[in-house]
């Protein structure tokens, strides 16, 4: 009996060749699976292409809501930016793709799943690890990792096998979903080269962005963005709106050198307008409502959370445990943040919350503050206690005091 393989299918050259190659090499029937994660591709064309190449069946799965609710919004609560920069857009989508592949494999009686990831990136790790954790008996096949064909060889293979080759739209390797666009390769591989204008599709160049700033008020409830300019919006609609608005002001471009899990350093360009604006606003609101101790500890948790997700360990129990800590902190993260967008920047210019622990009566510089300045004296006495004792014993401090004295003497002598 021929075996069945469920293949993650984008309709591009790699995954198109995968269909035929799996049929030939693994004597398999291929069922293709395409998720709609808000990547703005023509998914009916992808389905037609799958049928044309000879897949036994095709699934187009609208996973946008699940993606936003179960993957993207938890990443907002975690202020997740890998290496301080990358909002994990591609990384968050992979475990969901793996999950859907496993579900289709079960429904179709497949004994393997397959994907078109190369052996040099993070995506293979994310899909393999998640799928195998969910269903240990399923085999994972990554044809691109096995076949070792160059792009030209793939084109020849496609032509031989009656796979129509579309002229490639771009010289870049692009992955996109509603949380962002990742762009790699071509001229971007030289980290000293400024990205050419044509890498960007979701953001206006700051030079061409409107000359007047645009303001956006984002409302949060328990850590989740729920309102734009006072109007309630569903999660998906909200992300799409902010992507559009922030992108039109040139907000969302990221250019950095990133450490891949497999050890390679790579130059990455991203366009993540909604992600950057929403995370920045969320982080700012947290500073108004959380204590310094909560913020301090949460920053460590956030770093760990982003690392786990980046490195393919979505199903690692630690991630769930960190999520429980994070969600406890979010009970007071409700309020409104004002963002001013202007030619590529998103500046937070206002924040308010019913749970604010900012106390004007304490912090004001005006007379009449409730804060008793005299109590600072005793506080400083105790706060500096150990530093004073240690300083008195330390030769370094003596030396630096001596140098200080000498300088003063020299000055006085002048």
Given 91, 188, 239, 326, the residue binding ligand ARG (CB under 6 A): 91
Report, in Å, the least distance between residue 122 CB and ligand ARG: 4
Nearer to ligand ARG, 186 or 344 (CB): 186
The Cα–Cα gap between 73 and 275 comes to 10
- Of residues 276, 271, 273, 277, the one with CA closest to residue 254: 271
Three-state DSSP string of 173-201: EEEEECCEEEEECHHHHCCCCCCCHHHCC
Report, in Å, the least distance between residue 254 CB and ligand ARG: 11
Compute the C-alpha angle 45/46/49, nearest 5°: 85
Which sequence positions are flagged as catalytic?
A: 14, 94, 123, 173
Nearer to ligand ARG, 261 or 348 (CB): 261
Given 175, 280, 284, 286, the residue binding ligand ARG (CB under 6 A): 175
- Of residues 122, 92, 95, 89, the one with CA closest to residue 272: 89
Given 161, 173, 229, 304, the residue binding ligand ARG (CB under 6 A): 173
Task: State yes or no: residue 10 binds ligand ARG (CB under 6 A).
Answer: no
Beta pairing, strands 224-228 & 231-232: antiparallel
Non-local CB neighbours of 36 within 8 Å, separated by 6+ positions? 43, 60, 61, 62, 63, 64
Report, in Å, the least distance between residue 231 CB and ligand ARG: 32
Nearer to ligand ARG, 30 or 92 (CB): 92
Given 90, 176, 329, 330, the residue binding ligand ARG (CB under 6 A): 90
The Cα–Cα gap between 17 and 370 comes to 72
Report, in Å, the least distance between residue 94 CB and ligand ARG: 8
Site for ligand ARG in 120-149 (CB under 6 A): 122-123
Nearer to ligand ARG, 271 or 280 (CB): 271
Task: State yes or no: residue 184 binds ligand ARG (CB under 6 A).
Answer: yes
Nearer to ligand ARG, 184 or 271 (CB): 184
Task: State yes or no: residue 284 binds ligand ARG (CB under 6 A).
Answer: no
Task: State yes or no: residue 258 binds ligand ARG (CB under 6 A).
Answer: yes
Strand, coil or helix: 273: helix
- Of residues 131, 178, 142, 389, the one with CA closest to residue 275: 178
Site for ligand ARG in 94-123 (CB under 6 A): 122-123
Task: State yes or no: residue 14 binds ligand ARG (CB under 6 A).
Answer: no
Binding residue count for ligand ARG, defined by CB under 6 A:
10
The Cα–Cα gap between 52 and 62 comes to 22
Please report where in the chains the tokens 């109007």 appear, as a residue: 231
Report, in Å, the least distance between residue 91 CB and ligand ARG: 4
- Of residues 361, 292, 313, 373, the one with CA closest to residue 125: 313
Nearer to ligand ARG, 306 or 333 (CB): 306
Nearer to ligand ARG, 50 or 90 (CB): 90
Given 47, 268, 271, 284, the residue binding ligand ARG (CB under 6 A): 268
Site for ligand ARG in 315-374 (CB under 6 A): none
Report, in Å, the least distance between residue 123 CB and ligand ARG: 5
Report, in Å, the least distance between residue 190 CB and ligand ARG: 17
Element (DSSP H or E) covering residue 265: strand 265-271
DSSP assignment of 353-379, as one string? -TT----HHHH-SSTT-SS-TTHHHHH
Torsion sign over Cα 163, 169, 172, 177: negative
Strand, coil or helix: 247: helix
Binding site for ligand ARG (CB under 6 A): 90-91, 122-123, 173, 175, 182, 184, 258, 268
């Amino acid at each position: 009996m021929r075996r069945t393989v469920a293949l993650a299918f984008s309709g591009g050259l790699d995954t198109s060749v995968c269909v035929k190659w799996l049929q030939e090499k693994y004597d398999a029937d291929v069922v293709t699976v395409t998720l709609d994660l808000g990547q703005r591709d023509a998914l009916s064309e992808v389905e037609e292409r799958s049928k044309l190449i000879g897949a036994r069946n095709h699934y187009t799965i609208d996973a946008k809501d699940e993606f936003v609710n179960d993957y993207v919004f938890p990443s907002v609560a975690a202020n997740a930016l890998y290496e301080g920069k990358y909002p994990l857009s591609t990384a968050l989508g992979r475990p969901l793709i793996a999950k859907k592949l496993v579900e289709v494999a079960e429904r179709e009686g497949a004994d393997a799943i397959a994907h078109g990831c190369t052996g040099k990136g993070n995506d293979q790790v994310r899909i393999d690890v998640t799928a195998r954790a969910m269903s240990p008996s399923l085999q994972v096949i990554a044809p691109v990792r096995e076949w070792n064909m160059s792009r030209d060889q793939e084109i020849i293979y496609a032509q031989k096998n009656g796979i129509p080759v579309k002229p490639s739209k771009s010289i870049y390797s692009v992955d996109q979903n509603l949380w962002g666009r990742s762009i790699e390769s071509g001229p971007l591989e030289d980290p000293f080269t400024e990205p050419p204008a044509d890498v960007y599709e979701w953001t206006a160049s700051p030079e061409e962005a409107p000359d007047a700033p645009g303001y956006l008020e984002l409302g949060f409830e328990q850590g989740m963005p729920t309102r734009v300019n006072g109007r309630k919006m569903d999660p998906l609609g909200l992300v799409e709106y902010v992507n559009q608005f922030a992108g039109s002001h040139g907000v969302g471009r990221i250019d950095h050198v990133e450490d891949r899990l497999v050890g390679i350093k790579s130059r990455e360009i991203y366009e993540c307008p909604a992600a950057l604006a929403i995370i920045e606003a969320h982080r700012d609101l947290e500073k108004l409502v959380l204590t310094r101790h909560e913020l301090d500890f949460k920053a460590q948790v956030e770093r760990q959370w982003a690392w786990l997700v980046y490195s393919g360990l979505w199903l690692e129990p630690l991630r769930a445990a960190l999520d429980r800590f994070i969600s406890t902190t979010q009970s007071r993260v409700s309020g409104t943040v004002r963002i001013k967008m202007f030619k590529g920047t998103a500046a937070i210019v206002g924040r308010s919350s019913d749970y604010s622990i900012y106390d004007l009566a304490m912090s004001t510089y005006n007379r009449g503050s409730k804060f008793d300045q005299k109590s600072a004296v005793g506080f400083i006495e105790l706060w500096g206690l150990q530093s004073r004792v240690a300083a008195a014993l330390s030769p370094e401090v003596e030396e630096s005091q001596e140098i200080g004295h000498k300088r003063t003497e020299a000055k006085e002598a002048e």
